[in-house]
A = this chain, B = another copy of it.
Amino acid sequence: MSLLRAAELPSLLGGELLGDPDAAFSRLAPLADADADSIAFLAHPRYRAQLDASAAGCVIAAPALREALAGRRAALLHDDPYLAFARLTQWWAARVRPAGVPGVHASAVVEPLARVHASATVGPLAYVGAGAVVGPHAVVGAQAHIGRDAWIGEGTRLMPRATLLDGCRIGARGIVHGGAVIGADGFGFAPDAGAGGAWVKIEQLGAVEIGDEVEIGANTCIDRGALADTVIGDGVKLDNLVQIGHNVRVGAHSAFAGCVGVAGSATIGRFCTAGGGAIILGHLELVDHVHISAATVITRSILKPGSYSGMFPFDDNAAWEKNAATLRQLHALRDRLRALEKRT
């Protein structure tokens, strides 16, 4: 069951091997759980204490830790241990996960005018609409849905029960997790004053255009554009339960954590991040390299790269109640302070 010999590590990941090249390892593990048969990693030398406490047989760590690594069965010195470990998980996953079998499962429904590449996989009970294109080595998981004229690039995987609706496109080497819905209608209605303000639907005539190397989390929604398309750039990573409104544009390599909501027509730059539960309102712009903290609400454009926050600091309930009640008088308190300043 030994899967990886230490001697293979430098060729797979780069870096310098210490210890026994013939040592073999059967697990990847966090430092705290690792045993003599495990490979672990230390992201940063400041976590040195975790290293000393770990029984890991092999550790990937920074060159500065050369001496601290002595005595392990093996170790890999690497300038970027976290990145090296990420690459190792990919190698590992390719070994332990069964490969998909190319072809269309007998229970899937593929419309006559769809084009599924011979090397692609369409899983059980999946649906592929007319005019859809499923590229080489792409995987349409069990019970997934590809709408009419939708397009899936080379090697992209739709996991079980993912949905890519009519006319939407995703590039190469992407992943769409289960329950994600790409291409539902954007939320657009005009009030009809003649009908007492009832809402009249604005049909959403655009689609969703997604670049290469994009990962989209479980139950995340990306709405189709009203007239033009909603656009997700290359390398974007969206976590679960994220909402992307119609005509949003997300720049390449931006990443949003779970439960983030982005309202319609927001334009997000490249390499931006948003923490869990952040809300970005619509019709505004964030430049590249803007980082939004969790649960922060962005209400206007941000034109300067940097980190932005806005959340009420939690406290024990009694303290919060007092401070929150006072907050509702804050403007009045300021006026009282001004008055005092004038008097003294």
Contacts and interface: CB of A to CB of B under 8 A. Distances in A.
Interface of A: 28-30, 33, 80, 82-83, 85-87, 89-90, 92-93, 96, 98, 105, 107, 109, 124-125, 127, 129, 142-143, 145, 147-148, 159-161, 163, 165, 175, 177-179, 181, 184-185, 187-193, 196-205, 213, 215, 217-219, 221, 223, 226-228, 235, 237, 239-241, 243, 245, 253, 255, 257-259, 261, 263, 271, 275-277, 279, 281, 292-299, 306-317, 319-331, 333-334, 336-337, 340-341, 343-344
Contacts of A227: 28-30, 33
Nearest to A292: B314
Report the copy number of this chain in the oligomer. Answer: 3
Contact of A124 (B109, B159, B213, B215): B109
Nearest to A265: B30
Contact of A323 (B245, B317, B330): B330
Given A147-B160, A326-B331, A341-B340, A245 B258 contact: yes
18 contacts: A83-B193, A92-B205, A93-B205, A124-B127, A145-B160, A179-B219, A196-B253, A219-B241, A243-B258, A261-B276, A277-B279, A279-B295, A297-B312, A299-B313, A308-B317, A326-B331, A340-B340, A340-B341
A245 B340 CA distance: 49
Contacts of A299: 294, 311, 313-314
A310 B315 contact: yes
A85 B295 contact: no
A178 B181 contact: yes
Contacts of A237: 187, 189, 199
B189 A255 contact: yes
Contacts of A197: 253, 271
A306 to B, nearest CB: 6
Given A89-B202, A160-B127, A190-B86, A334 B331 contact: no
Given A175-B185, A177-B184, A331-B326, A199 B83 contact: no
